Amino acid sequence: MSNAGARRLWRFRGGVHPPQHKQVSTTLPVRPAALPARLTLPLHQHIGEPAEPLVKRGQQVLKGQLIARPQGYVSAPVHAPTSGTVVDIGEYPVPHPSGLSAPCIVIEADGEDRWIDHAPVADYQSLSPSELRNVIREAGIVGLGGAGFPTYIKLNPGHRKALDTLILNGVECEPYITCDDMLMRERAGEIAAGIGIVRHALQARQCLVAIEDNKPEAYDAMCRATAHLEDVTVVQVPTLYPAGSEKQLIKVLTGKEVPSDGLALHIGVVCTNVGTAAAVHRAIDRGEPLISRLVTVTGGAIGRPGNLEVLLGTPMEELIHQCAGDSGAIERLVMGGPMMGFALHRFDLPVIKTTNCVLALTAAELPPPRPVMPCIRCGACADVCPVNLLPQQLYWYSKAKDLDRVQEYHLFDCIECGCCSYVCPSNIPLVQYFRYAKGDIWTREREKEKADIARRRHEFRLERLAREKAEREARRNRKKAALQADTARREKQAEIQEAIARTQARRRAAMKAAETQRRKAQQTARGRERPSPAARNAGGEGGNEKSGAPAGMTEDAPQGKDE
Amino acid sequence: MHAPVSVTRVMLQVLLAMIPGLAAYIWFFGWGIVYNLLIAMTVAVVAETVMLALRGRPLRPYLLDGSALVTAALLAFAIPPLAPWWVTAIGSAFAIVVAKHLYGGLGYNPFNPAMVGYVMLLVSFPREMTSWVPPLDFSVYPMSFLEAGRYILTGQLPAGVTFDALTEATPLDTLKTNLGMGNTVAEIRAQLGLDEATSRLLSVIPIFGAIGGKGWEWIAGGFLLGGLWLIHRRIISWHIPLAMLGALAIMALLFYLIAPDRYASPLFHLFSGATMLGAFFIATDPVTAASSPMGRLIYGAGIGILTYIIRAWGGYPDSIAFAVLLMNMAVPLIDHYFKPRVFGHDRD
């Protein structure tokens, strides 16, 4: 068992050696940042779905209290970094390349910094890996190296029973940033404790702690702190940007390449940042959720550069102020390093879980603004690309918006490390083109999806219209048929009525005729008796006798019609 | 963050790397090359300015990029030292206007502009373009700086000197002509590669030196030195020069072993003509070369093989320009088929 030793290392191709500028921020020990008056906590500080607020405006919260819960599987909760009052829940500017605002919980600190009741896990060995992951999830821990992927997911080996190698990433290859370096120097014990827990969650056979060979103090500290651990090796890797990128680091340490469409897990490796391991230790052994982190505050505009232990949500301008920064001298404020970080457009943005560095650059530190020249196809970009892409072709097709070709050239394998832009003699901002092309492709996919939905909806609509039309038609036909049947019935009834009327009329006529005859017979029987007026009337009627039936019919006809 | 690199720096270093070759050139062949360089560069800058203005491009960054100067320098080295000024001027203007700007300017031209200019001159002015000079030591009249200038600019020779007396075929040309007459390589070299004392005694111009042409081998050495410095500075990659020189040497070796009487040695090919200039300065022009490492090897090897084929069996004594232009045509194809394996992907 040896925790420091010569190991065979591999190398990834490409990479660059930018000036490091790390020395300046490692001269002072880690200091705690002052408690800010107000903390702004974005609900989205990690990869995945934003958290959902659990508190209301005006509510009192305690330090470490859960204030927003994760939504969905890939998400992380947010905790109150100090005690105080929730003064607002709403849109505030957040550190994001877009410069847009996002939902945040704003807490006004009461200055007491009073903890909520919390308890450590007495013996993590007694917990199952799954239970351990739950604790880590509830503590809101995400990757502190910069990506912010929820740690509990990363520590889930899935159906695999055990993992071969856990890699603790203490490479920190970006210029200027030293928070991992200082963490390893000063809190190696916390990291070592975290290693034990993470290994238990993963059931990893061995653990490699990788540190670039420009950090001898951190290397020594980690060697000492892990001396008592079995199968933990601290490895110095050659200083070469971007050796700290997960896939490149795995290649350096194991010689294996993570498949383009796969995860490190698929080749039996999990890689996590040293800061994340320390956060896991705090969550398990002290019961403290992730409410603070180390932040490097450096750059030419900072008078006393160094590393601060910062509560999440603290405005960056306060850190700049505490490190004797000169806001007026800041030409560009960057979150993260100069290679992969992004420029911020204001100084009051909050520190979030992925803020490893606040870099305040002066005009003198920025490359002189030079015009972008045409690509001369020199291939320097391809020579330094750690993924072995052809940035020059990608640039060509990105610029032409040939989104199919750009994917043929494996745009999505680009890790956006910025090596190509760094060496381009024509000063072409290659990575920006690639990010833009990726965005274009995502937009296209979304639009295609939307169009698909719209098309399906349209087809449904057409189908429904056709169906409705058919139904209407059918209804009309039925009605028509019913109406026709009705008319026929009525005509028949009318005929029957007529027939009845005719019969009745004939019968009446017959009865009248019989009556007349009877009267005639009576008159005849009375002999020479003078005729009565009735007989005279009857005689008048009698004049019509022969046409009696037709007269009756004309009389009856209106009656028949009225029926 | 940006590395301290720019197109201007790249071009300036390429120009600097030509200095050893240029020094040897002046040492052995006199001041003509300096006039060629000045004429070609002046015309190139003027042509570049006019074209940029016509195309509505910003003048300052593009004039400062230095690419026109590199094109002009490469062309100047390809033109005989005593060629009249208008030959150089026409070639330079053609290279910049037609081969570069009509194809879209810096970064967009498919063919090496200097080589396009050279080939245009070679087919248009064959006499001027093949009238080379012997090393100064053996020239009937080693002209001074001013005399060379006067001849180049006005066509006036010093009294009593004829142009034909001043000129001489190149070693590659001589070799080709003499091989065509049925002589063996060894015979030709024995006659024309004598040591200085014997040459003077027999009043024969020793065209051949220790390994290549007399004087030419030193110029080649100068370009080799500058080229290695460019590789060391990572201005160019080693792939194209190595592949080109390797392929040329292998071809030459193969035929030299089969028939040493009829084919010159690999070393002779490497140190004659424009081989070294071509390998380190012309074929490596990034704009017109293949871009991936494997592609560059194929591209360089193609130039080496074509150079040998044309030299040995073609109609021209040297052929770097033709070989480069032919391989320029193949670049899109090479780039399409030789893409590097991307990290995390299986080899296609």
pLDDT tens-digit readout, A30-74: 999 999 999 999 999 999 999 999 999 999 999 999 999 999 899
Q: Which amino acid is located at A101 in the chain?
A: S
Positive or negative, the CA dihedral A126, A130, A132, A138 is: negative
Domain residue ranges of chain A, discontinuous segments joined by +? 141-288, 384-525
Is the minimum CB–CB distance between A454 and chain B shorter than 8 Å?
no
Report pLDDT for A510: 86
Closest CB to A382: pick one of B2, B3, B292. B292
| B65–A373 C-beta distance less than 8 A | yes
Question: Which of A298, A332, A359, A388 has the highest number of chain B CBs within 10 A, making it the mutation to test binding with B?
Answer: A388
Closest CB to A373: pick one of B106, B237, B339. B106
- Contact list in A for residue B341 (CB cut-off 8 A) is 388
Query: Which of A127 and A559 is assigned the larger pLDDT?
Result: A127
Report pLDDT for B317: 83
Chain B nearest CA to A468, separation (Å): 54
Question: Given a cut of 70, is residue A449 above it in pLDDT?
Answer: yes
Q: What is the mean pLDDT of chain A?
A: 89
Give, in degrees to the nearest 5, the angle at Cα A223 between A218 and A225: 95
Question: Given a cut of 50, is residue A563 above it in pLDDT?
Answer: no
- Contact list in A for residue B58 (CB cut-off 8 A) is 371
Sheet with A78-79: strands ordered across: A52-53, A66-69, A78-79
| A339–B108 C-beta distance less than 8 A | no
| B65–A390 C-beta distance less than 8 A | no
- Contact list in A for residue B106 (CB cut-off 8 A) is 373-374, 376
CA separation (Å) from B109 to A63, B100, B268, B328?
65, 5, 33, 10
| A393–B107 C-beta distance less than 8 A | no
Question: Given a cut of 80, is residue A238 above it in pLDDT?
Answer: yes
Question: Which of A174, A373, A375 has the highest number of chain B CBs within 10 A, making it the mutation to test binding with B?
Answer: A373
Three-state DSSP string of A58-127: CCEECECCEEEECCCCCECCEECCCCEEEEEEEEEECCCCCCCEEEEEEEEECCCCCECCCCCCCCHHHC
Q: What is the mean pLDDT of chain B?
A: 89
Closest CB to A371: pick one of B1, B9, B61. B61
CA A476 to chain centre: 50
Q: Which of A76-85, B21-30, B133-142 bottoms out in mean pLDDT, i.e. has the lowest? A: B133-142
Chain B nearest CA to A434, separation (Å): 16
According to DSSP, the residues that pair with A109 across neighbouring strands are A84
Chain A nearest CA to B105, separation (Å): 9
Run of H or E including B300: helix B293-313
Q: Which residues contact A72 (CB under 8 A, 6 or more apart)?
A: A48, A49
- Contact list in A for residue B2 (CB cut-off 8 A) is 367, 421-422, 424, 427
Q: Outline where DSSP puts E strands in A171-313.
A: 204-212, 232-237, 269-273, 292-298, 306-311
Interface of A with B in 310-339 (CB under 8 A): 338-339
Residue entry with tokens 């219209």: A465
| A16–B345 C-beta distance less than 8 A | no
**By three-state DSSP, how is residue A36 classified?**
coil
Report pLDDT for B204: 59
Report pLDDT for A367: 79
Question: Given a cut of 60, is residue B119 above it in pLDDT?
Answer: yes
Size of interface A-B (CB pairs under 8 A): 106
Question: Given a cut of 60, is residue A531 above it in pLDDT?
Answer: no
- Contact list in A for residue B296 (CB cut-off 8 A) is 379
Question: Given a cut of 90, is residue B201 above it in pLDDT?
Answer: no
| B58–A390 C-beta distance less than 8 A | no
Rounded Cα gap, residues A165 and A196, in angstroms? 13
Question: Given a cut of 60, is residue A202 above it in pLDDT?
Answer: yes
Query: Is the backbone peptide bond immediately before B206 cis, with ω within 30 degrees of 0?
Result: no
Query: Which of B304 and B137 is assigned the larger pLDDT?
Result: B304
Report pLDDT for A337: 93
Mean pLDDT value of segment B304-325: 92
Q: Which amino acid is located at A29 in the chain?
A: P
% pLDDT > 70, chain A: 91
Question: Given a cut of 80, is residue B163 above it in pLDDT?
Answer: no
Report pLDDT for A543: 43
Report pLDDT for A241: 93
Question: Given a cut of 70, is residue A526 above it in pLDDT?
Answer: no
Question: Strand A163-170 to strand A204-212: parallel, antiparallel, or no bridges (unpaired)?
Answer: parallel
Report pLDDT for B193: 63
Chain B residue with Cα closest to A20: B1
Report pLDDT for A105: 96
| A393–B291 C-beta distance less than 8 A | yes
Report pLDDT for A31: 94
Report pLDDT for A273: 95
According to DSSP, the residues that pair with A357 across neighbouring strands are A296
Chain A nearest CA to B321, separation (Å): 20
Nearest to A353 by CA among A50, A61, A129: A50
Q: Which of A181-190, A508-517, B187-196 bottoms out in mean pLDDT, i.e. has the lowest? A: B187-196
| B342–A388 C-beta distance less than 8 A | yes
B248 within 8 A of B310, measured Cβ to Cβ: no
B88 within 8 A of B120, measured Cβ to Cβ: no
This prediction has a pTM of 0.81
Nearest to B96 by CA among B59, B166, B42, B30: B42
**By three-state DSSP, how is residue B184 classified?**
coil
Helix axes B113-124, B85-94, angle to 10 degrees: 130
Rounded Cα gap, residues A81 and A69, in angstroms? 15
Mean pLDDT value of segment B126-149: 83
Question: Strand A163-170 to strand A269-273: parallel, antiparallel, or no bridges (unpaired)?
Answer: parallel
**By three-state DSSP, how is residue A314 classified?**
coil
Domain A141-288 has CATH 3.30.830.10: no
Sheet with A342-344: strands ordered across: A31-32, A306-311, A292-298, A357-361, A332-335, A342-344
Mean pLDDT value of segment B142-166: 83
Question: Given a cut of 90, is residue A538 above it in pLDDT?
Answer: no
Question: Which of B108, B112, B343, B345 has the highest number of chain A CBs within 10 A, making it the mutation to test binding with A?
Answer: B343
Question: Given a cut of 70, is residue A148 above it in pLDDT?
Answer: yes
Rounded Cα gap, residues B276 and B282, in angstroms? 9
Question: Strand A84-93 to strand A78-79: parallel, antiparallel, or no bridges (unpaired)?
Answer: unpaired
Chain A residue with Cα closest to B8: A425
% pLDDT > 90, chain B: 61
Report pLDDT for B206: 62
Report pLDDT for A522: 77
Residue entry with tokens 């009556």: A515
Mean pLDDT value of segment B84-112: 95
Give, in degrees to the nearest 5, the angle at Cα A274 between A270 and A275: 120
Show the tokens assigned to B304: 């080496």
CA separation (Å) from A416 to A337, A342, A357, A376?
13, 12, 18, 21
Closest CB to A413: pick one of B6, B296, B342. B342
CA separation (Å) from A361 to A215, A218, A297, A325, B130?
23, 26, 11, 11, 59
Per the rule left: phi > 0, alpha: psi between -120 and 50, beta: everything else, B148 is alpha
**By three-state DSSP, how is residue A370 classified?**
coil
Could you read off the pLDDT of A247-273 as tens digits, one per residue? 999 999 999 999 998 889 889 999 999
Mean pLDDT value of segment A295-313: 96
Nearest to A332 by CA among A303, A371, A304, A301: A301
Question: Given a cut of 70, is residue B205 above it in pLDDT?
Answer: no
**By three-state DSSP, how is residue B296 classified?**
helix
Q: Which residues contact A432 (CB under 8 A, 6 or more apart)?
A: A421
Closest CB to A247: pick one of B3, B335, B343. B343
What 8-state DSSP symbol labels residue A412? G
B41 within 8 A of B114, measured Cβ to Cβ: no
Mean pLDDT value of segment A287-315: 96
% pLDDT > 70, chain B: 94
pLDDT band of residue A549 (cuts 50, 70, 90) is very low
Report pLDDT for B203: 57
Nearest to B286 by CA among A372, A396, A379: A379
Question: Strand A101-109 to strand A204-212: parallel, antiparallel, or no bridges (unpaired)?
Answer: unpaired
CA separation (Å) from A233 to A6, A166, A197?
10, 10, 16
% pLDDT > 90, chain A: 68
